[in-house]
Amino acid sequence: MNRRTLLQLPLAAAGRAAGATPWMLGANTAIDGYGLLEAIQKIRELGFQAIEIHTMGDPEPRAGRFPGFQFDRIPARQRDEIKSALAGFARVTAHLPYTGLNYMASAEAVRTVEIAMEGTAFFGAKLAVLHPQPLPDSELETRWAEYLKRFRTWGDRALGLGLRLALETGYPRSVRGFVRLIREIAHEAVGATIDVGHQSRYEELTARVKPEDKAAPAGIRAYNDTTMAIVEQLGSKVFHFHVHDIDPRTWQEHKPLVHGFVDYPRLAAALRMSGYTGLWMLEIGGAAENLPSYLSDAKAKLAAI
């Protein structure tokens, strides 16, 4: 799909004729400099029915940082304020901590994730996103059984909290490796979050596209093929999506929907066939003053598709 295809949305009429999609569009609270309550209110004002909160950071405004919370460090009064602010959203999801957490080696890091899962459940979210922790290449196979056990243990914990756990694409760094991870965890509460911008270093993609060909039509198509391969191979184990656009020149992610890099009509068609019922959660970066317009524009374009 080229830029004109995205901006003109020729599939909108066909999509409406076929009926509403069974999934929902949302946005996360990652707005630099906002407080958490302010970010929640802004997403509500923009008309989103779903929202993703961050179980890390601080609820108060901080310059250059987006808001969140650490569940064990906020008082009951503030917990109740956040919970009230989220009331009315049809669906709530949460992103678990990911910065500097070595949960494959540290009991403290394991507990940090588990406290975040408790907070996720308290605020009414039914799905928590987690980054698989990268391991040294020399250790992945030798620690594979331990790796699977960690996610199965958290899958059991998620079930007890009324959650599903969705591991985000990016590691292992191949379609084959990521699909293997989700399949071999083999837990009813553990599936995948596909971030449309996390495949840039996947082995199958770098083998097809030279750096100088990133922005070429064949390079863009190869990127979309890589994402679609995960969708097709995991089927019902795809629980969630993080959506945005990608700069064709650099493959930098989390851009506003102005490039037409990600083939959303193709993705939507595949998800209709698979019976997907999760969310498309917008993750767009940029200056706080620009984000409301970026999110509003992306909402209109993706809702039409």
pLDDT digits (tens, 9 = 90+) for 23-34: 799 999 999 999
For residue 5 the two structure tokens come to 């295809």
What kind and span of H or E run contains 70? none
Whichever domain contains 286, its CATH number is 3.20.20.150
Query: What is residue 184's three-state secondary structure?
Result: helix
pLDDT at 3: 43
Domain hosting 85: range is 3-304
Q: Determine the pLDDT at residue 21.
A: 55
Distance CA 116, CA 186 (A): 23
pLDDT tens for 61-91 read 999 899 999 999 999 999 999 999 999 999 9
Distances (CA, A) of 293 to 53, 257, 281, 282: 20, 11, 16, 13
User: Across residues 288-305, what is the average pLDDT?
Assistant: 96
The Cα angle at residue 88 between residues 275 and 119, in degrees rounded to 5: 85
Instruction: Find how far residue 287's CA is from the centre of its chain.
Output: 20
Task: Indicate left, alpha or beta for 57 from its phi (over 0: left) and psi (-120 to 50: alpha).
Answer: left
- Give kind and range of the element (H or E) at residue 296: helix 291-304
**Which pTM does this prediction carry?**
0.91
* Count of the separate structural domains present in the chain: 1
User: How much of the chain, in percent, has pLDDT values that exceed 90?
Assistant: 89
